[in-house]
Amino acid sequence: MVFVELSIFVAFIGLLLYKWSVYTFGYFSKRGVAHEKPIPLLGNIPWSVLMGKESYIKHSIDLHLRLKQHKVYGVFNLRDPLYYLSDPELIRQVGIKNFDTFTNHRKGITEGFNDTSVISKSLLSLRDRRWKQMRSTLTPTFTSLKIRQMFELIHFCNVEAVDFVQRQLDAGTSELELKDFFTRYTNDVIATAAFGIQVNSFKDPNNEFFSIGQRISEFTFWGGLKVMLYILMPKLMKALRVPVMDMNNVDYFKKLVFGAMKYRKEQSIVRPDMIHLLMEAQRQFKAEQEGSAESAAQQDKAEFNDDDLLAQCLLFFSAGFETVATCLSFTSYELMMNPEVQEKLLAEILAVKEQLGEKPLDYDTLMGMKYLNCVVSESLRKWPPAFIVDRMCGSDFQLKDEEGEVVVNLREDDLVHINVGALHHDPDNFPEPEQFRPERFDEEHKHEIRQFTYLPFGVGQRSCIGNRLALMEVKSLIFQLVLRYHLKPTDRTPADMMSSISGFRLLPRELFWCKLESRGPA
């Protein structure tokens, strides 16, 4: 009897779960929006992706190619309906023309938590007027002039990275796993350029800064499950107060940043890093607020306190730790697999070295290298670290095509996505997209790229504010590596990278193994 009652109860719960999971599945049909049939609980995410047998990136590209004849199509992310834009004109409207209606990202999973208030203050999480104030405050911090000041800090990290490679070669080890190598490099860059401390993750592989950074950025099963549950049941997860991030890790960076700020103020120390630039922005903000004619009511949410400053440092860390290492890994992979590209890049590097003579490489010379820029741009096309760009509709809105015809009627809080990776792999935008062709971005051909089909750093005012710094990190180390070493594939290097990627991360199962051969004295 108990077994029967238990079976009925389980069946009832299962039925409720099923009904709940499919409740939204009529959303796009009612609105006449093209979409593919979703699966209960999963939406348009196949089991093969969840089980790690197929890449979500490949799946999303294929889905785009099947539905791209529609300017807007629908996708169910689990049970959440998302609008995807495949038409460049609609992307322009959402990202540029009607930005005031599409200012925000989807509501952050940290909203409403006191213990994660620092994380909620980052530029990525802020919304509406508060975001505009912070973006306006931070924009002068990320100009070419300010980024140029950090070049020497990053060059020092380049030297340490190259020294490590040379020590490996001298010890008879010619093969290197690049993702770990570049992750340690980006860790050291962030430590010096953002937090004002010197670490060498090659000589001290288990240093505290690197270890905590790994824990923050590591994509574990539990971490992914928490994010999924926040998407599915945000109210319940907030009620249970399940932390998104281990606050012990946040406290470590808090002590680091506040300690550095206090010491610099007391000793009047100036160092050309992110803490200094943010402290300058903070002082400038406070000076402008004191001299502003705005009423107190208008200024009540306008602030830039120490927690706000810390939040931007944490964002700089979390955004730069993984993405720059990923870009460096894929750029190196493409140079390995396309030796003619590597030789052409080497020729440009040698020409620059000859032009410099005895002078060291500087920021302007590096950023002015045309073929290096083409190589990195093509790497970002093929392997964009941010595969999806999202926006939330701020009010009821009609998206219209170039002829003025209504394509879709959006409602307030509707989620609009731009599949950057799919746009970059669409043969209508980039012929033979699987081929690595830096020439797509040279002076002769770059005008052929349709506007709003190449978006490696996002689109509009909410594009990546730190893209100049990221490009400097990538280009400076690629310059030094190609100058000194011939990058070659090994037996462990995947021939078909896309097939080697599985799950939700842009990471091959075999990792990024590379054989390095010295070119002789640089």
Q: Return the exposure string of 71-94: e unless at least 16 CB atoms fall within 10 Å of the residue's CB, then b.
A: bbbbbbbbbebbbbbbbbbbbbbb
Q: What is the 3-state secondary structure (H, E, C) of 369-409?
A: CHHHHHHHHHHHHHCCCCCEEEEECCCCEEEECCCCCEEEE
> How many angstroms separate the CA atoms of 272 and 146, rounded?
8
Q: How far apart are the C-alpha atoms of 352 and 354, rounded to whole Å? A: 5
CA distance 272 to 149: 6
Relative orientation angle of helices 274-290 and 128-138, to the nearest 10 degrees = 120
Hey, which residues does 518 pair with through a beta bridge? 485
**Sheet of strand 80-85, all strands in order from the earlier edge strand to the far edge:** 34-35, 72-77, 80-85, 415-419, 388-392
Residue 410: beta bridge partners? 397
Pick the closest to residue 141 from 259, 276, 41, 262 (CA basis). 276
Tokens, residue 215:
């824990």
| DSSP code at position 46 | -
Asked if residues 110 and 116 have their Cβ atoms less than 8 Å apart, the reply is yes
Determine whether the annotation assigns residue 393 to a binding site. no
Facing residues of 417 across strands? 84, 390
Tokens standing for 312?
């931007």
Angle formed at CA 112 by CA 108 and CA 114, multiple of 5 degrees: 115
Phi, psi of 431 (to 5 degrees): -55, 140
Beta pairing class for 415-419 and 80-85: parallel
Strands 513-518 and 485-489: antiparallel
Place of tokens 């509009």: 460
- Compute the CA torsion angle 416, 422, 427, 431 (nearest 10 deg): 120
CB proximity list for 512: less than 8 A, separation 6 or greater? 177, 178, 179, 329, 332, 333, 493
DSSP state of 504: T
Residues 6+ apart with CB under 8 A from 267: none
Binding positions = 464
Binding positions for heme = 464
